[in-house]
């Protein structure tokens, strides 16, 4: 009886021990599985992209805009892949208009600087560069009154230095720089630099392997830039860039005083010379019939573009009356272009060298805004149809133009007739486009959320100077990761074998077998 009880106790103890061992092995197995899966997940999870930010302010002649750009820290062939994430238009006119109160030039930027603070992460604001580039408006002011230009820049710099960003400088960019940076922007947006890069999935697909020319029209200047196979006879018109591992030599020229606002002054100045201004009325065929505008002659002649054409006998105030004649307006606009002399093998106008037009062109800024108003940007149209559209608009009575055009500011609305005629004349008479190559021009506003303009090209070029950062790496080295995975796998196999040997003994290991 005693022997039987002892055997039952031993069997119970053995069964209890087996359960404990099974429990311990089960826990170890579960922990091994968790460790194996966790290591694989942590090591292989997608790494966050390290992003950098940059801010460029375009201080133009008629307004200032702030652009915020973003690009991956791991650059493509030493150049950042930059795209626009935010735009802020500064209230009021361009900074050059603050010559009577320079302090307000800097204060006008504050609202957009605050907007940038909301977009750029706080942790990155100190390392985010901010640049201000002033264009033709400040070029003209610097020419007439350098002291006032310096005061405006001092005000602007004070505002930007007091921001949380890394202020890198404010300066007047040259016309050649403005043209070249616009060319970089156009070709970047059209995908002509590095096609096939995974960073460029958001850009439009482009099969072109060449580059496109750039046509920029602002308020005080206009630029033409393109790559040419011909010899660039004037070295002042040649610039070299290296982007995405490739070098480019481009032709570029900027015509100061031939932006649409200053060109209008040139046209009006010519009209005043042609008409005997004895009363306060001046007929102008480049405005719609029925339109009137009062013109202050002291303010009008304050621009260096027309100051040498001052008529001393002109009254202080002149009323411009529109007559809306396309043909007569075209004749007046033609008069501001000098195509009579050229000291090179070929010129555009005013004696400036220009090689033969080559390839496709992207036209932006005022080129786009005017053509978009005339509904000529949605599809390719012939040069004759563009002329018909502009002529039809010029002949419309001013009252009809106002009633059809909604909330467009009167200044812009009243000048679309002149601007349309001027653009046609600039492209045809000035640059040499004609009916056979007119459709090589595409009028561009935004392309995939980025504005066509010089600021994006400026940022792209500047990123060549910003050191690339090493990409983020997984927490474990490749060797360490493989070692851990092998260790946990062997550990799990060991537990499985232990369980099998302990609870499913082979017959050769069982007691009593000979």
Our measurement of the distance from residue 269's CA atom to the centroid of its chain's CA atoms, rounded to an integer in Å, reads 35
Average pLDDT over residues 154-160: 96
Tell which residue, 315, 305, 333, has the closest CA to residue 426. 333
Note the pLDDT of residue 258.
Answer: 97
The domain locations on the chain are 51-172, 175-453, 473-514
Residue 243 CA: distances (Å) to CA of 75, 230, 240, 347, 457: 11, 21, 10, 29, 10
Cβ neighbours around 86 below 10 Å, total = 17
Please tell us whether the domain made up of 51-172 is placed in CATH 3.30.420.40: yes
Average pLDDT over residues 296-317: 90
Helix, strand, or coil here: 472? coil
Distances (CA, A) of 102 to 153, 215, 237, 434: 8, 32, 33, 45
Least confident range from 41-50, 58-67, 231-240: namely 41-50
Catalytic residue among 178, 360, 391, 415: 178
- CA gap 256, 254 in Å, rounded: 6
**Cα 341 to Cα 252: distance, rounded to the nearest angstrom:** 20
Q: Give yes or no for residue 35 having a pLDDT over 80.
A: no
CA distance 261 to 255: 13
Whether pLDDT at 334 is above 50: yes
pLDDT of residue 10: 53
244 — pLDDT class (breaks 50, 70, 90) = confident
Query: Which is it for the CA torsion 36, 37, 41, 44, positive or negative?
Result: positive
175-453 CATH choice from 3.40.50.2000, 3.30.420.150, 3.40.1260.10, 3.40.190.10: 3.30.420.150
Q: Is the pLDDT of residue 421 over 60?
A: yes
Instruction: Tell me the torsion sign for CA atoms 436, 437, 442, 443.
Output: negative
Res 479 pLDDT > 80: no
Is beta strand 246-256 parallel, antiparallel or unpaired with respect to 292-296?
unpaired
Between residues 295 and 8, which one has the greater pLDDT? 295
Q: Which two structure tokens, joined as six digits, stand for 135?
A: 């264009």
pLDDT value of position 7: 56
pLDDT at position 246 is 81
Task: Report pLDDT for 402.
Answer: 93
Summary mean pLDDT of the chain? 85
Residue 64: pLDDT band with limits 50, 70, 90: very high
Span of 315-329, 422-436, 465-479 with lowest mean pLDDT = 465-479
Q: What is the pLDDT of residues 433-459, one digit of tens each?
A: 999 999 999 999 988 788 999 998 888
Supply 487's token pair. Answer: 């260790």
Q: Does residue 428 carry a catalytic annotation?
A: no
The pLDDT score that the predictor gives to residue 38 is 74
Q: pLDDT tens digits for 12-30? A: 555 555 667 667 767 777 7
Using 50, 70 and 90 to split pLDDT, how confident is the model at 206? very low
Output helix, strand, coil percentages for the chain, rounded to the nearest 5.
45, 20, 35
Across the range 400-405, mean pLDDT stands at: 91
- pLDDT band at residue 80 under the 50/70/90 scheme: low
- Asked if domains 51-172 and 175-453 share a fold, the reply is yes
* In the predicted structure, residue 71 carries a pLDDT above the cut 80: yes
């Amino acid at each position: 009886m005693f022997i039987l009880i002892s055997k039952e106790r031993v069997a119970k103890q053995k069964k209890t021990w087996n359960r404990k061992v099974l429990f311990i092995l089960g826990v170890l197995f579960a922990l091994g599985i968790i460790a194996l899966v966790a290591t694989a997940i942590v090591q292989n999870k997608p790494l966050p992209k390290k992003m950098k930010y940059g801010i460029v302010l375009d201080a133009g002649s008629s307004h200032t805009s702030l652009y915020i750009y973003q690009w991956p820290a791991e650059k493509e062939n030493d150049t950042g892949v930059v795209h626009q994430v935010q735009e802020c238009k500064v209230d009021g006119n361009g900074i050059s208009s603050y010559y009577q109160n320079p302090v307000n030039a800097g204060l006008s930027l504050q609202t957009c600087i605050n907007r940038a603070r909301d977009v750029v992460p706080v942790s990155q604001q100190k390392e985010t560069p901010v640049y201000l580039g002033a264009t033709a408006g400040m070029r003209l002011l610097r020419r007439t009154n350098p002291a006032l230009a310096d005061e405006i820049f001092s005000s602007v710099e004070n505002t930007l230095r007091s921001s949380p960003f890394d202020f890198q400088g404010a300066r007047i960019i040259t016309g050649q720089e403005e043209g070249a940076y616009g060319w970089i922007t156009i070709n970047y947006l059209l995908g002509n630099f590095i096609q096939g890069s995974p960073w460029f999935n958001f850009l439009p697909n482009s099969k072109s392997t060449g580059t496109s020319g750039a046509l920029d029209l602002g308020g005080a200047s206009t630029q033409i830039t393109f790559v040419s196979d011909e010899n660039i006879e004037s070295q002042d018109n040649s610039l070299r860039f290296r982007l995405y591992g490739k070098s480019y030599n481009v032709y570029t020229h900027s015509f100061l005083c031939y932006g649409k606002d200053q060109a209008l002054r040139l046209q009006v100045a010519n009209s005043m010379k042609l008409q005997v201004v004895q009363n306060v009325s001046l007929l102008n065929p480049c405005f719609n019939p029925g339109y009137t505008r009062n013109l202050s002659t002291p303010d009008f002649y304050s621009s260096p573009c027309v100051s040498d054409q001052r008529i001393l006998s002109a009254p202080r105030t002149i009323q411009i009356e529109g007559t809306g004649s396309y043909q007569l307006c075209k004749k007046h606009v033609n008069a501001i272009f000098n195509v009579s002399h050229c000291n090179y093998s070929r010129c555009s106008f005013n004696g400036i060298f220009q090689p033969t037009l080559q390839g496709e062109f992207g036209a932006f800024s005022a080129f786009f805004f005017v053509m978009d108003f005339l509904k000529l940007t949605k599809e390719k149209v012939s040069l004759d149809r563009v002329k018909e559209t502009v002529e039809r608009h010029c002949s419309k009575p001013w009252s009809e133009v106002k009633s059809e055009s909604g909330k467009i500011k009167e200044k812009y609305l009243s000048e679309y007739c002149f601007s349309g005629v001027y653009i046609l004349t600039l492209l045809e008479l000035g640059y040499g486009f004609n009916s056979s190559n007119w459709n090589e021009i595409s009028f561009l506003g935004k392309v995939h959320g980025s504005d066509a303009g010089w600021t994006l090209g400026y940022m792209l070029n500047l990123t060549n100077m910003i050191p690339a950062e090493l990409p983020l790496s997984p927490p474990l080295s490749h060797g360490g990761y493989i070692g851990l995975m092998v260790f946990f796998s062997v550990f799990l196999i060991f537990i499985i074998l232990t369980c099998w040997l302990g609870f499913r003994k082979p017959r050769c290991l069982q007691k009593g077998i000979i």
